[in-house]
């Protein structure tokens, strides 16, 4: 893995959280490490979809796979990620329902959904 700047790390964290399935995976792993088959069943997604999301989260440096014989257990890569998730879950946001965020390419980013 290659270390990234703080702003890049924050952007990767935000990108990971922008997908509901990846956010649910992170929240689940914040409670306890898990195995892909168990996570897929818990979240109600196929193993292939879960595998794709775990690959993304590993690539972003947010989760790690710990080999256990023929299986791999997934967990958060750093305890601070869990604390950040806990802090974010404690936020209460006042959201303007008419707000439309614009992405870097000038198109609506979809956060208003």
Q: Which domain holds residue 30?
A: 6-89
Residue 102 included in any domain: no
- How long, in residues, is the chain? 113
Name the domain count of the chain: 1
- pLDDT tens for 16-64 read 998 999 999 999 999 999 999 999 999 999 999 999 999 999 998 999 9
Q: Count Cβ atoms below 10 Å from residue 26 Cβ, excluding itself.
A: 22
Q: Is the dihedral of CA 83, 89, 93, 97 positive or negative?
A: positive
- pLDDT tens for 103-112 read 767 777 655 4
Phi, psi of 64 (to 5 degrees): -130, 150
Identify the pLDDT of residue 110: 58
Count helices and strands in the chain by DSSP H and E runs: 5, 2
Residue 83 included in any domain: yes
Residue 35 included in any domain: yes
Lowest mean pLDDT among 2-11, 34-43, 48-57, 82-91: 2-11
- Distance, in Å, from the CA atom of 65 to the CA atom of 21, rounded to the nearest integer, reads 18
The partner residues of 75 in beta bridges, in order of sequence, read: 64
Residue 62 included in any domain: yes
Residue 108 included in any domain: no
Using alpha carbons, select from 82, 74, 71 the residue that is nearest to residue 31: 82
Identify the pLDDT of residue 75: 98
Residue 56 included in any domain: yes
Residue 72, CA distances (Å) to 33, 34, 37, 65 in order = 10, 9, 10, 6
The partner residues of 72 in beta bridges, in order of sequence, read: 67
Q: Which residue has the higher pLDDT, 5 or 52?
A: 52
Residue 95 included in any domain: no
Question: The domain that contains 81 carries what CATH number?
Answer: 1.10.10.10
Residue 25 included in any domain: yes
Identify the pLDDT of residue 113: 45
């Amino acid at each position: 893995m290659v270390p990234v700047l703080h702003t890049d790390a924050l952007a990767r964290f935000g990108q990971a959280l922008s997908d509901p399935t990846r956010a649910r995976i992170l929240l689940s792993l914040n409670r306890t490490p898990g195995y892909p088959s168990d996570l897929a069943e818990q979240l109600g997604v196929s193993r292939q979809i879960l595998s794709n999301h775990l690959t993304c989260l590993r690539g972003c440096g947010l989760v790690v796979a710990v080999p256990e014989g023929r299986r791999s257990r997934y967990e958060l890569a750093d305890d601070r990620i869990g604390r950040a998730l806990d802090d974010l879950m404690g936020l209460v946001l006042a959201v303007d329902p008419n707000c439309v965020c614009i992405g870097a390419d000038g198109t609506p980013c979809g956060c208003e959904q």
